[in-house]
Structure 1
Amino acid sequence: MKKPNFQAWLQQPISDDPEVILAGKLEYLRLYLTDAMREIRNKAELTQAQLAEKLGVKQAAVSKLESALKDHELESVLHYLHTLGADLLIAVKQGDDLYQASDNDGVLLVDVPDVVSQKALAANMNLREYVRAAIEKFSSEDNRLRTALVKLLESDESVAVKVRELLITKTTQEIVVYLEKCLSLPEEDRIFAVKNVLAGSVAVAESNRGTSNEINELELLDLAEELLEKLAEILG
């Protein structure tokens, strides 16, 4: 059956109730997205188990990602698609304004703030060149951090061994995702966020002091500090 046009569907007056409209859009997005994900995986001739191995997760995690009945984290979807050599194109429309972004070479920002245009002019670059350079720069920095985290966590360093023992139920990729979130916080909050991850509290957006019944609070903070120092040493 041919899929309905997504943009046309978004314009349909489903209901005057905002909650009903939102629920309808979310349901359609999940159906559309998961259908595309399964199709891409099948074209790659990979089973869920084979893709799970590449992602460093269990097969059940891939099954959940491909289910339209589940909520999806953007990071997990991007990781899934990136592993299959695919991109997720995201567009936000407000009235006549369209904001679209992608790391695909052929698609850049459709509409950008004036400050970006000014910076491109100051750098003696056209807008497309400037945006592409910025995307490559940030992508390179993200990849460098991710590579450093994986290398450290899989090493025989004492701090890595301790982290693996504490988070024995988590895959390396899962730990990396949590730590990346910690490192996106202000520097003064990172140690407490990492401590929460080590304590098993993966809601790292909150950097407040948590408690742990299994390991001393100070020991967790010491390990968090050691981990951050080792990572800083690796990144130079």
Structure 2
Amino acid sequence: MKKPNFQVWLQQKVSDEPEVILAGKLEYLRLYLTDAMREIRNKAGLTQAQLAQKLGVKQAAVSKLESALKEHELESVLHYLHALGADLLVAVKQGDDLYQASDNEGVLLVDVPDVVFQKALAANMSVREYVRVAVEKFSVEDDGLRTALVKLLESDDSVAVKVRERLGSRTIEEVAVELEKCLSLSEEEDRIFAVKNVLAANVSCGESNRGNSSDEIDEIELLDLAEELLEKLVEVFGKSN
């Protein structure tokens, strides 16, 4: 079923008055909400009369809920959707902040820029499909890098052996997570000092603490090991510093 696109009509500027703009936003919400409600009911194979019987109300009540021209109580909409096994996902946005107001168990609402729509269109996908594929691809790459880091640190390589001697109570997996963050830094010098801090159990990649070590010899050894490790990572992952 091809969904109607009300956006061009609704986004036409008709007034600068806040009340008129608000009325337009409300109309937008009603149109898309009621369209979704009707589509869900149709997919369930129910007529308005059958759904009304299921809800224990008259058919006129269902017809009113599915009309974009009528007022809608939130409780009634939720009851309607629940009867069809559907949920209403709601979020509130103010500036750069997004607050999810509905139950977020198993699903999170996020806002993406308009450019994502264009990219999805070019890929012949819906925005939802595009985002899911992008997240899946990112996750696979992310897991692949971390797995490779763990494999390297567990190996008999001389650099890996020296790194393991610096682990203390930390696991290889924990150190791999921190090293992964360090590799995302754009400047080579920042990467070196970030890795040095991880090796020194300073954990936070964002800090450098350059020249503050009380043990200058150990500081030099840590920096040398950090450079060796980064060179090894470049060799293994084919990254270019």
TM-score range, shorter chain: 0.5 to 0.7
* Counterpart code for 2:227: E
Residue 200 (structure 1) aligned with residue 201 (structure 2)? yes
**How do 1:138-217 residues align onto structure 2 when only pairs under 5 Å count?**
138-188=138-188, 189-214=190-215, 215-217=217-219
Residue 94 (structure 1) aligned with residue 93 (structure 2)? yes
Q: CA deviation at 1:94?
A: 2.9
Q: CA deviation at 1:213?
A: 3.7
Q: CA deviation at 1:162?
A: 0.6
The answer on whether the counterparts of 2:92 and 2:98 sit within 8 Å (CA) in structure 1 is yes
Whole-angstrom CA distance in 2 between matches of 1:92 and 1:190: 38
Deviations 1:209-231 (A, max 9, x none): 25334543232122111111212
Q: CA deviation at 1:179?
A: 1.0
RMSD, matched Cα:
2.8
- Rg larger in 1 or in 2? 2
- TM-score with structure 2 setting the length: 0.51
Whole-angstrom CA distance in 1 between matches of 2:237 and 2:108: 29
**How do 1:56-135 residues align onto structure 2 when only pairs under 5 Å count?**
93-94=92-93, 107=107, 111-135=111-135
- TM-score with structure 1 setting the length: 0.52
Whole-angstrom CA distance in 2 between matches of 1:196 and 1:130: 38
**Unaligned runs of at least 5 residues, structure 1:** 1-90, 101-105
Q: CA deviation at 1:161?
A: 0.8
* Counterpart code for 1:234: V
**Unaligned runs of at least 5 residues, structure 2:** 1-89, 101-105
The answer on whether the counterparts of 1:196 and 1:204 sit within 8 Å (CA) in structure 2 is yes
Q: Choose from 216, 233, 236 the match for 1:234.
A: 236
Q: Percent identical across equivalent pairs?
A: 73
Whole-angstrom CA distance in 2 between matches of 1:140 and 1:210: 38
Whole-angstrom CA distance in 1 between matches of 2:91 and 2:146: 28
Q: CA deviation at 1:193?
A: 0.3
The answer on whether the counterparts of 1:149 and 1:176 sit within 8 Å (CA) in structure 2 is yes
* Count of matched residue positions in the alignment of Structure 1 and Structure 2: 142
Q: Which deviates the most, 178-187 or 127-136?
A: 178-187
Helix, strand or coil: the match of 1:166? coil
Whole-angstrom CA distance in 2 between matches of 1:149 and 1:99: 36
Whole-angstrom CA distance in 2 between matches of 1:99 and 1:226: 45
Deviations 1:188-225 (A, max 9, x none): 21111001111221121223525334543232122111
User: Paired residue for 1:72?
Assistant: none
